[in-house]
Amino acid sequence: MKKYDEIINEFSWDQVLKTYDWNAKEKFNIAHESCDKWANDENRIAIYWEDESGRTDNWTYKRLKVESNRMANGLRSLGVKKGDRVSGFLGKDMELILTVLATWKIGAIYVPMFTAFGPEAISYRLKDATCKVLVTNKEQAEKIAPEDKENCQIILTDSLTKDRSSFWAFIQQFSSEHKTEETSVMDPCVIQYTSGSTGLPKGAVWGHKILLATYPYLRYAMGVEKDDVLLGGADMGWAYGLMNCTLCPLSEGIPIVVYKGPFNVEKYYYLLEKYKVTNFAYAPTAYRMMMAAGADLVKKHKFHIRKFSSAGEPLNAEVVRFFKENFGREIYDHYGATETGMIVNNYNMCDMTIKPGSMGLPSPGFNISLVDDKGNHANDGDVGQIVVDINGFAYFFLGYLQDEEKTVEKIKEQWFYTGDLASIDEDGYYWFQGRADDIISSAGYRIGPFEVESCLIEHSAVAEAAVIGKPDENKGEIVKAYVVLHPSYEPTDSLGEELSLFVKTKLSKHQYPREIEFVHELPKTPSGKIQRFILKKERLEANNATNSR
């Protein structure tokens, strides 16, 4: 296994381009590379599909190609052409994956939806992206406003079409032959709406180059190899689930496990064992639940896992240690953004020291840096905002849909500003410090909330924690923590004092929470990220109510 410096020095985008079927300098389409490229081997498995009721279905790359071709021809019959928008609003159904591939084969643009969205979120995306077709089911269609149904053609996967045929009967009418559109690497392929903390979601437009840009992450961070079976738990309504758990691994010609059902520790242990999964990726929330289920449950199963990956929010050190002790393998924490891809990682395919809690090291093929409030490059040890060089080959972001102003706001000179803060230690490892608007200024110190949260969660009483700054006359702000306790603990003043002292002892005298509030749950995005801005808003509203009395 190579060392990190060797991988960085040997990495070449020219060599990466040679691994793909089409010459990316002339044409490039994700559907071809993730499906059709592998379909000549009629027995090569692409997807092991299973749902929570136990129904299963195995899909070869050949079958995937044939049915996505039929779907592409079906979409064309509805008037979809290159540049049009098609949305999928389903769970982890095979109809959804076929829709994505078919959309790209036409040269159209895919708009992901998450099944937890309500009517307003759906309507906003359909209108903003001017979707021509929406593929969904009866349950989700009930959320769609009548005017949106008039402006967008709806295909229901569990109901009859206008010609009184089922979804599968509908696509079987069409030929299994279809010529994939020869798009370029910078032709748009996806409009991924970001789950921002303020304002309406922004439609981030990706070029087909995102598949190329993901290669270093897939190859070195996730460590995907030709003999892997990969299970990624993230929902395909979000960037990580759509690309890193589904389409990108398929581009390597390996089988993936697609499970349609809620996360349950015992069910996932069953899946990992049944399909002999070697490569597993999920969000920190799932890993924390696996840790909470205990070591005894781990011992009941025979696993084949060689690599663990985590993304979405920073992973707490205690969870990393649990997996090392009970699975013999650390979880490799990864960082990325919707507009940049995965850019700072711990690498499963690298002989590197894992520092629990660290984001890791910059990705091969990317030029990233940290800048301070004035736009100067931050000194080692100082907190700065993560920025990415837009002149690098891996840059695939085409801007925010119909919002040049917001696009320009995020780009200064040659750098894209992610809005995320980090520091770099003496070994070059990055340490997440929070969002740019989450940083706490207390008595002249800049305090990142995540480090305090990670420390709190190491206490046996704490299940989850979120930290924000609370205004203070003397210090500017003090650290306030919202804590969810494990069921066996009761919220008391003495426990609050104990937790404050715990952080003060383990971190420092300026970082410990001077106020702790026990709560039943923390506000989160649908993808599981803690929404500190909601806690700030609630705190502000409470202060205003108090002052108005």
Tokens of 285: 């929330």
Residue 306 maps to a domain: no
Distance between CA 486 and CA 463 in Å, rounded?
5
Which domain-ending residue is among 208, 230, 257? Answer: 208
pLDDT score recorded for residue 392: 95
Q: Are 302 and 444 in contact (CB under 8 A)?
A: no
Token pair 């940049």 in the structure block, residue = 340
> How many helices (H) and strands (E) would you count in the chain?
20, 26
Give the pLDDT confidence of 22-44 residue by residue, as tens digits.
Answer: 999 999 999 999 999 999 999 99
Token pair 């206008």 in the structure block, residue = 162
Residue 136 maps to a domain: yes
CA distance to 66, 107, 464, per residue, from 181 (Å): 16, 5, 47
Query: Exposed, middle or buried, 15 (CB in 10 Å: 0-12/13-18/19+)?
Result: exposed
pLDDT score recorded for residue 8: 96
pLDDT score recorded for residue 164: 65
Residue 469's CATH number: 3.30.300.30
User: 10-residue block means of pLDDT along the chain (549 residues)?
Assistant: 94 97 97 98 97 97 98 97 98 98 98 88 93 96 91 90 78 96 98 70 95 98 98 94 97 98 96 98 90 95 96 82 94 95 96 91 96 85 92 96 92 92 94 81 73 88 92 82 95 96 83 94 82 83 62
For residue 26, what are the contacts with CB-CB under 8 A and spacing of at least 6?
none
Tokens of 535: 């806690």
Residue 154's CATH number: 3.40.50.12780
For residue 278, what are the contacts with CB-CB under 8 A and spacing of at least 6?
227, 228, 229, 230, 304, 305, 306, 307
Residue 454 maps to a domain: yes
Residue 377 maps to a domain: no
Which domain-ending residue is among 147, 180, 208? Answer: 208
Closest CA to 485 of 474, 473, 498, 472: 498
Residue 500 maps to a domain: yes
DSSP 377: B
Strand 515-518 with 476-485, pairing: parallel
Distance between CA 138 and CA 62 in Å, rounded?
29
Residue 539 maps to a domain: yes
pLDDT score recorded for residue 544: 63
Q: Are 198 and 328 in contact (CB under 8 A)?
A: no
Q: Are 44 and 69 in contact (CB under 8 A)?
A: no
For residue 175, what are the contacts with CB-CB under 8 A and spacing of at least 6?
69, 70, 73
Q: Are 72 and 86 in contact (CB under 8 A)?
A: no
Q: Are 125 and 87 in contact (CB under 8 A)?
A: yes
Closest CA to 90 of 158, 152, 145: 158
Distance between CA 178 and CA 496 in Å, rounded?
64
Q: What are φ and ψ of residue 61, in 5° steps?
A: -65, -35
For residue 56, what are the contacts with CB-CB under 8 A and spacing of at least 6?
48, 49, 50
Residue 244 maps to a domain: no
Q: Are 143 and 122 in contact (CB under 8 A)?
A: yes
Which domain-ending residue is among 191, 208, 225? Answer: 208
Give the pLDDT confidence of 249-295 residue by residue, as tens digits.
Answer: 999 999 999 999 999 999 999 999 999 999 999 988 899 899 989 99
Domain count, the chain: 2
Cβ atoms within 10 A of the Cβ of 18, count? 10
DSSP H helical segments within 25-179, as ranges?
30-34, 61-77, 94-106, 119-128, 138-141, 146-151, 167-172
pLDDT score recorded for residue 547: 57
First vs last C-alpha separation in the chain: 66
For residue 420, what are the contacts with CB-CB under 8 A and spacing of at least 6?
335, 337, 385, 386, 432, 434, 435, 436
Phi-psi region of 264 (alpha: psi -120 to 50; beta: other; left: phi over 0): beta
pLDDT score recorded for residue 197: 44
Angle between helices 449-457 and 493-506 (to 10 degrees): 120
Domain range for 480 = 440-547
One-letter amino acid for residue 265 of the chain: V
pLDDT score recorded for residue 291: 93
For residue 335, what are the contacts with CB-CB under 8 A and spacing of at least 6?
311, 314, 342, 343, 344, 345, 359, 360, 420, 430, 432
DSSP 304: -
Residue 319 maps to a domain: no
- Beta bridge partners, 332, equal 309
pLDDT score recorded for residue 195: 58
> Secondary structure of 341-366 in the HEC alphabet?
EEEEECCCCCCCCCCCCCCEEECCCC
Chain-centroid distance of CA 93 in Å reads 19
Chain-centroid distance of CA 205 in Å reads 16
Question: Rounded to the nearest 5 degrees, what angle is found at the Cα of 124, between the Cα atoms of 115 and 536?
Answer: 80
Tokens of 362: 């910059």
CA distance to 249, 359, 363, per residue, from 219 (Å): 10, 17, 11
Tokens of 132: 């021509």
pLDDT score recorded for residue 312: 77
CA distance to 286, 346, 525, per residue, from 333 (Å): 13, 6, 20
